[in-house]
A and B are shown apart, each in its own frame.
Chain A
């Protein structure tokens, strides 16, 4: 069954600290994996996309990793800012069904 599991469900950290969010998937065959940021009451915005051959990709203070063998991805946020408070959603595309599967997200809160 095609599934995307994210952990933790929620996370609170102090401003300036680093954190790592996890995404495990069972989607097969794999096409790509995307991380979205969703601010409260807004639509998701794409942060980065990982394809099968990519291990690491950065977008400013956000760094995504992909291990296609273990079917795991992580999103690392460096030197967190208050504006990083949001839900982070992992989305995996199934290449044969041309279907995307959404994780339920990690709710990140940054405290001053």
Chain B
């Protein structure tokens, strides 16, 4: 089945540690996105990529980094510079060129501080 796979489902970070969240899609979508979801707030865009080897900062990029070496993969690293990383992280993808197409979401990674 085509879809987006995020792993791990749960992740714990120690002080000063960088952690990487995985996002893989087999939908042949060009665009991929990372969002952060906090209780009582709308999804906030961290980074997005419209094409391989290119990505752009979203609204809350500080303390995060990404790479897009393959079309299928868009990993997110939460660095030690992100002082409040506890949240639910969602990865999404979308086919190029059609604004009415929905974003397809993975099932998220919940990150907590140890």
Contacts and interface: CB of A to CB of B under 8 A. Distances in A.
Same complex: yes
A94 to B, nearest CB: 10
Interface of A: 4, 9, 31-32, 34, 41-46, 49, 51, 89, 93, 95, 98, 100-105
Contact of A104 (B40, B105, B106): B40
Contacts of A98: 99
Instruction: For chain B, give the interface size range.
Output: 10 to 19
Interface in B74-114: 90, 92, 99-100, 102-103, 105-108, 110
A51 B108 CA distance: 28
A103 B42 contact: yes
A42 B107 contact: yes
A95 B102 contact: no
A41 B108 contact: yes
Nearest to B33: A100
Given A41-B107, A42-B107, A45-B105, A31 B99 contact: yes
Given A104-B40, A105-B42, A46 B108 contact: no
B105 A44 contact: yes
A101 B42 contact: yes
B17 interface: no
A4 B6 CA distance: 27
Contacts of A105: 42
